[in-house]
Every structure is written in structure tokens, then in C-alpha cells.
Structure 1
């Protein structure tokens, strides 16, 4: 039985004004994480643990995580497991510290995710799609010993609990090969499972993500003979995912994203604001699959760049091994630098075995 988890978010809030500076000295004016790659040791096993997603924001969070793992079957097939991630990143008063403090991580593994059904085949790629709430509150809880003031939210955090329950109209999307090919499915809040409208009998469809700014759905498919990223433009912008994601008549609107086409395979897209992250073995990788990012401009998506180009020296997000399934946890506050945490999986040396889960701070330059 999955224990009930509550997501709480407490953020350092910036003091302004001469009086506050006079009283308290150099107060934090930004939030940054010490550069480094941090293994989610409490979730990782000697087998494969990857495809992780969690709810925003990443600062002092107590969050439910869903991820794919073959640990229970000792490497035989993948199911969706759950875990609990607690991350505390203290404020960074960069006027008086040489470097940001390290994050405090606590990770626990809980077991099978009951909201996504068990199938005879492999089940991977869990993704929550839900209509964002219109935030009407502030975060105003303190980080001792600093006094704080409230900042407005730009988005309401997902109200996680131990069952992974989503707001009305929300669905969990996942892929399964229980009918032969890897295809996408959705399960709504009533527990009904339906196939994605873009599934085809002659190809594999995996890893869905949604661009809430432009109302576009992205996913990976090998219908061209290799994995590439495809897009569906959601005309009208309906966020009733449980309704339209299963409408077969929409399949004619699927198109390849030409900006991302390469001679290699490109999978696991994830949209956050004006960036689209992906895993690819295209030319220019350090080895196997690497993480890439495309930044949106007024002319559309730019050519993908290896994410390692943006990382600080000696912080190796990409390695000679494989890096896969990037996802971003964003802070979501107005008028405060948005610390973003990148979560991904890798089979790099030094892990517990197979694919393991990792987090790192995303550099400010990725904008």
C-alpha cells in the first residue's frame, strides 16, 4: 500500500529595502544549487530505474515520484514504481559566499504505482498531463534565519498525494508493449485505460509531453524507421486530456518536427517553458544517448544542442554511457530567479547497476 504523501513547497523569499539590509546584512538575493550530479540513491537498484517524473516545484519539496523499473522482476520486465523525493535547497547569498550550498536530498522507494495498471508486457514512460490551476496565493514560509515576504506563483504545484491523483481532466500517460508494439495509453481519474489516438499497428509510440504555451503535444515514434519527435497542434487548446487524447479522428493532424530530424534516434521529449529537452544518439554525442536541448525563438525551435555545452566544468550531465528521459522541476515564482532541477537516468559507471536516476541544477544559460 502506498503511503500518503503531501507536497509542500517552501521557498526563500528576498528581502528588499535599505532597512532590511541594515538590520540583517547581506540577505539572499538568489537561489542556486552547487554544481554537481546527485544520485537518487534511495530509488536506485542493481537493475534499471529510469523515466522518472515528479511534481513542481523543486525547492523544499516532499514529492511523489513515478518511474519505470525492472527491479521487482529482477531485470525481466518493466513496471511503474513510486518513490518519495525530499529536496531542500537553502538560499544563496552570493555576495558573501564563494559558492552555493549543496542540496539536501532524501529519497525513499515505495513500490508499485496502483494508478497505472499492470500488464503482461513492459510498462514505461509515466507522464502526468493535467490542466494547471490559476494560482491565487503566494509562497510565504520562511527559510530560517532569514525573514521573508511573499512572491506570487506563476503556476500552482501539482497537489501530489500517495495515489498520484491528478486534478479533474488530468490523465497519466504511459507506454506498453502488451499488444506487441510499444504504444501510448492514458488512464483517467476514473481508472479507465484507452489507447492514444496516434498509435499505429506498424510502429512504436512512446514518451508524450505537452507544451502549455503553444498547446502542442509531442511524442516519439519510429514510424519513419528510426525514432523521431512528432507533434500534434491542439487547436482550441482544450485541456480536457481525458477526452481528446483518445479521439482517433485527430491522428491526421500528427506531423514530424523537422527541426529535430537527424540521422540518429531522438526520444523522450520534455517541454518546459521555451525549451524542449530530449535524449538522442545523433552525431555530436559523447557516447550512446546524450541529453540535448532546443530553445524556442520567434522563428520556431532552434537546432538541438548538446546539454553538456551549457554545464559547468567538471559537471558531466552527459558521459560515454547513455543518458535518458530528461524532465525539469521548476520553481514557478514571479520576480525571482527560477531554480530548475534536471532529473534524468543514466547507465554511467559508479551507479548501483543498469540505469540509475540522477538530479542536477540546470544552468541559467539554458533559456
Structure 2
């Protein structure tokens, strides 16, 4: 859906409406992003894709990215690298223009992430956990010759500061197999590394995410023989992550999420609002691991559905290859559609080789309760 928003032209007030129309071709009032493929050349290769749909008012995002890479060791073991993603979507320059301009992408790779230590084994799955707060600022980026109206921000990605320093004394979670099994660890702002309370000597744990709305921690573990998603209910809602994530007395309260169970493996959960994203090779995948999403409805997480069923047909998120580790970059505008950019990795054909990183915008309204049966213009069961 194209969202229409009033824009104020930066021109003298004495100009008449006819003259304004002659100069600008009628005042623009429409901003959107269309499905398209955009290369993230600065991070992976010219073949990385960005497929955008239904954006908000002129979009400007400058995000810090941490990701696992085995490039430095030439494929031998994984460490954590950093990158910067800048995305700019300008409004229509002319209301009579049939299509908006293409978004501008700038992606840069900066090398090793010093906040997460490198061990002799593999280090993967970086995840920042910190208390969320209202940005307390307005989204009012000017785009000459027009200026957007101002809207309050409700959230924004971890901003670029070059260091990955977290606000409010947060922690970085990651997993490492340097002690044999693949287990989760946390590193606090002082640089102290401690094991996650849910680690077990007989299983592998990886990829944690925190549900700030329901105060629940989700993570992957193969303690049942296959990878499943497990949950810890954080009663009391403490956001002192550095304290309770390392408290072994809490391990007894971990439970499997039966509502997400399948005959296959399910890993890499990421929660955003009422959507729980994951990677799974369960029945219904197009090949290998696909991205799935569970939608929260009537107080419960629903059966996961292949995310391809919610996408326009020309935006191929899942392929015959493997798609993995979904995460969301959000830019919330109060009382307007919350634009969400999905970032994931894939070893699909056409990339640089091995796994590459990709991004795509999620369609407006497609992942809400009640949208699972029929989504106009998308692939459905």
C-alpha cells in the first residue's frame, strides 16, 4: 500500500498555487519504496540484494552491524566482524512521477569487533541486549526542495558509533565452541566474559533473542537431539542482563517451545513485536534452511509459516539454498506503519561464495494476526 503524507515545500509564501504547480509539477505528497534488488557491494559483493517494499516517510537509517565471518582465516574458523549500513530513501521529486527514486545504499566493512573476544574456536551469533528506551527525538530529515513533517520515533537500530558500545549497561551475547561444545556467552561493558546459565555439557546452545514485550528469552539448543527453540520466562522483568544471564540457578526454569516444534531443526530465533522469526529445515521449506515466522495471536505463538508466503512473488527471500539468521532493523514512527528491514544470510547462487548477507523490507501489514490465510499479491498456501 502506498502511504500518502503531506509535505511542506520550502518556497516563499507569496508564490501562487499555479506558479508552484508550474515549478514543481504539483506539490509532492507521496513517499514509498518499491520491490527491487539492490547490491550491498561494500559488504559482500555486487550480487548482494536489497528488496524494498512500502517504506515510511523519507527514510534515513545508519546502523551498526556485527556479523560472523571466516574471511580472515580463509575459511578455517569464524570471528566477529563489524560493518556499517546506511540507507536513504528520498520522496517523490514530483507527484506526477509514476515511480519513486531508488533507495541509496552504502555498506562498509570495518574488520574485527573488539568488544567480542576471539577464541581459538569458532565465534558466531553476535546479539546485543540492552534496555530499550524511547529515542525521545523526532524524525524530521529534510529533503530539499521539500521538507517532511516531523514524527516521533518509537525505536531505531543500534546507531553507528564505530565501537558497538551499548547504552544502559547492556551485554553482547555470542556463541563459541572454544571449550568443545557450542555454548552461549555474554560479555559486559567491562569486558568480562561469562557463560550463559542455560549451557549444558551434553548439548550445543546458540542464537539468543529477548522478547521485551513479554520478558522472555529464546535460544536454540540441540539437547533433545535436534535443534529446537527454548524459552526462559524472566519473571519480574529485570533488564540487568549482566546479572541474571550468568545465574546458574535459573536453568531449571528453561522449557521447550512446543508451539514451534517440528520434525526438522529450528534455530536462530529473533523476536520483533508480535513476530518471531527463525531459520528451519522443517517440512514446507524450499530447500535446506528457510526463514519462517510465527505470528502472535490471542496470547499464543502460532504455527510457523514460511516467510516466502508473505512476500511479493518477485522478491525471493527463500531459495533452494540455505537462508539463515534473520534479524530486524526497525525504524518506528508513532501512529504510522513501522518499517522493518529484514537482514539474513544465504548461500544462494549469484553471491560472492559461501554465505553472504542480504536485506529486504517486509511488506506493510503482511505479518499481523489474521493475515495468515490470504495476503493479496503474495504467495499463499
Alignment of 1:350-361 (within 5 A): 350-361=350-361
1:45 and 1:353 in contact (8 A); partners too: no
Name the structure 1 match of 2:149.
149
Is the contact between residue 34 and residue 101 of structure 1 (CA under 8 Å) also seen in structure 2? no
CA contact (8 A) 1:37 1:359 kept: no
- Aligned partner of 2:158 in structure 1 is 158
Aligned to 1:55: none
Q: Which moved more, 1:111-120 or 1:126-135?
A: 126-135
Give the corresponding residue for 1:65.
Answer: 65
CA deviations 1:57-113 (Å, max 9, x no partner) are x93223221100000000000000011211112236997454443221111111100
Give matches, 1:221-300, under 5 Å: 221-300=221-300
SS at match of 1:252: helix
Give 2:317's aligned residue.
317
Residue matched to 1:53:
none
Q: Deviations over 1:295-333 (max 9, x none)?
A: 111130111110111111221100000000111111111
| 2-structure distance, mates of 1:273, 1:204 | 27
Quick one: distance in 1 between partners of 2:105 and 2:252? 45
Partner of 1:27: 28
C-alpha distance 249-44 of structure 1, shift in aligned 2 (>3 A): same
Distance between the aligned counterparts of 1:105 and 1:315, measured in 2? 18
1:54 alignment partner in structure 2:
none
Deviation at 1:127, TM superposition (A): 0.5
**In terms of Rg, which structure is larger?**
2
Matches within 5 A, 1:96-107: 96-107=96-107
Shift of 1:141: 2.2
Q: How high is the TM-score relative to the length of structure 2?
A: 0.84
Give distance in 1, aligned partners of 2:359 and 2:320: 18
Q: Deviations over 1:225-283 (max 9, x none)?
A: 00111111111111111111111111111111111100000011111111011110000
Give me the whole-angstrom Cα distance separating, in 1, the residues matched to 2:196 and 2:168. Answer: 19
Query: Residues 1-367 of structure 1: matches in 2 within 5 Å?
Result: 14-15=5-6, 25-30=26-31, 32-44=32-44, 59-91=59-91, 96-155=96-155, 157-364=157-364, 365-367=366-368
CA distance in 1, matches of 2:157, 2:323: 27
Give the TM-score normalised by the residue count of structure 1: 0.87
Displacement, 1:147?
2.0
Q: 1:42 to 1:110 in 2, by over 3 A?
A: same
Query: Residue 289 of structure 1: CA displacement?
Result: 0.5
CA shift for structure 1 position 135:
3.3
1:137 deviates by 2.4
Q: Distance in 2 between matches of 1:157 and 1:322?
A: 26
Shift of 1:154: 1.3
> Which stretch shifts more, 183-192 or 161-170?
161-170
Q: Higher mean Cα deviation, 100-109 or 265-274?
A: 100-109
Answer whether contact 2:326 2:345 (CA < 8 A) is retained. yes
After superposing the two structures, state which structure 1 stretch, 294-303 or 318-327, moved more.
294-303
Computed over aligned residues only, the root mean square deviation of the Cα atoms, in angstroms, reads 2.6
For structure 2, the 5+ residue unaligned runs are 47-57, 369-381
CA distance in 1, matches of 2:340, 2:93: 18
Structure 2: how far apart are the matches of 1:88 and 1:73? Answer: 33
Distance 1:285 1:349 in 2: 17
SS of aligned partner of 2:243: helix
8 A contact 1:13–1:142 mirrored in 2: no
CA distance in structure 2 between the partners assigned to 1:293 and 1:27 by the alignment: 36
Instruction: List runs of 5+ in structure 1 lacking aligned partners.
Output: 1-11, 47-57
Q: Tell me, yes or no, if the aligned pair for 2:68 and 2:123 is still in contact at 8 Å.
A: yes
